Amino acid sequence: MPNKHNAAGRHHIPKMPHRVTNWSAYEAGLRSRGSLTLWMTPEAVVQWQAEPRTTRGGQARYSDLAIETTLMLGCAFKLRLRQTEGLMGSVIALMGLTVPVPDHTTMSRRAKKRPAVSRPRLPDGPLNVLIDSTGLQVFGAGQWLQDKHGAKSRRGWRKLHLAVDADSGMIVAQTLTDQDGDDPSQVAPLLDQIDGEIAKVTADGAYDGAPTYQTIAQYGEGIMIVIPPRSTAVRSGEPGPPTQRDRHLEVIEAKGWLAWQVATGYGKRARVETTMGRYKALIGPRLRARDPAAQHTEAAIGVAVLNRMLAAGRPHSVRSEGRLP
């Protein structure tokens, strides 16, 4: 049971029931996720061949979009590169196309070069950005020795950092670091990927600190920052009007944590945690690639697949009357 050691000190709040109001459209979207036409788009076919290069060197045969489409197909159906090559070949044959199929060695080599992966179209209006990170396991030679011979090995991890739009649920930015990378250091790389206006940034207490507030302020003076201060946090003591962090501390001291969460809308941060769980359930909890550059490509492809699935259909939940026991 989660939090069983401090269950007595936690707030026992009954869960609020919700109901889905668009079951018909949502079910149709879930079915379309398994359709090959969702992944093999006409735009990819038109731009399948790479544009002729004007500099010295070999001529690429496949465009980045062709490699991205092929890798997305394999990621969506959890296939290895050789099986992805076979599936893509059968799809192209059934469609009656004459375009060549990238072989598994080409896909592996191009993945290491980190081809540009298309980003989702940002929703209209200022964004309410939710930031969080999760761990993805990496299986290497040490893991093989542990599974085969029972030898102890240091587990390898990578941290996937995501920025999610709170309204649409789309992943608008992502980065991948090693297991020792701290969360606040990835705030700027994530926000750099967002071209639209940012109205609000929400993160958990791991991001608390003046450096995070200073980093976010560089992307707009009016950005509202919602990060719970640590239990040992104190006011900055700077002259002039109180900072956003100071105002958070004042509200918490005066009204309590729950009132602060309601006033700031901190509860929406659960949506980025839902996105993390969705990623591990649909894409997988680990990275298959061994090369670090290929791991970055694999994570970017996984995010693109998850966004495509979400665009195909997502539930619209509304709060019901009463509470669950």
What is the pLDDT, as a whole number, of residue 95? 86
Q: How far is CA 12 from CA 196, 205, 277, in A?
A: 39, 21, 23
- What is the model's pLDDT at position 315? 81
Tokens (6 digits) for 178: 């090693």
Are 94 and 45 found together in one domain?
A: yes
How would you classify the pairing of strands 198-202 and 18-20? Answer: unpaired
Q: How far apart are CA 173 and CA 208, in angstroms?
A: 20
- Using pLDDT thresholds of 50, 70 and 90, give the confidence band for residue 11: low
CB contact set of 87 (below 8 Å; sequence gap of 6+): 73, 74, 77, 79
Please check whether residues 106 and 176 belong to one and the same domain. no
Q: What domain range is 91 assigned to?
A: 23-112
* pLDDT > 70? residue 5: no
Note whether 204 and 297 are same-domain residues.
Answer: yes
In a domain, 319, yes or no: no
Given phi > 0 = left and psi -120 to 50 = alpha, else beta, which region is 240? left
Whether residue 274 sits in one domain with residue 224: yes
Chosen domain end from 88, 112, 136? 112
- Report how far residue 170's alpha carbon sits from residue 69's, in angstroms, rounded to the nearest whole number: 19
Phi, psi of 111 (to 5 degrees): -65, -35
CA 293 to chain centre: 18
Q: How many domains does the chain have?
A: 2
Structural domain includes residue 3: no
18 within 8 A of 270, measured Cβ to Cβ: no
pLDDT computed for residue 120 by the predictor? 76
Q: Which residues contact 185 (CB under 8 A, 6 or more apart)?
A: 177
pLDDT of residue 4 exceeding 70 = no
> Token digits for 188?
């700027």
Asked whether the predicted pLDDT for residue 3 surpasses 80, the reply is: no
User: Mind listing the pLDDT tens digit for each residue in 82-105?
Assistant: 999 999 999 999 888 888 999 999
pLDDT digits (tens, 9 = 90+) for 34-74: 888 788 888 888 889 888 877 777 778 899 889 999 999 99
pLDDT-derived band at 1 (thresholds 50, 70, 90) equals: very low
Query: Does residue 212 sit in the same domain as residue 296?
Result: yes
Q: Is residue 62 part of a domain?
A: yes
Q: 127-138 and 286-287 as β-strands: parallel, antiparallel, unpaired?
A: parallel
pLDDT digits (tens, 9 = 90+) for 212-249: 999 999 998 889 999 999 888 888 777 878 889 999 99
Look up the pTM and report it: 0.85
Is 88 a domain residue? yes
Q: Does residue 71 belong to any structural domain of this protein?
A: yes
Q: What is the arithmetic mean of pLDDT over 181-194? A: 93
Do 48 and 173 lie in one domain? The reply is no
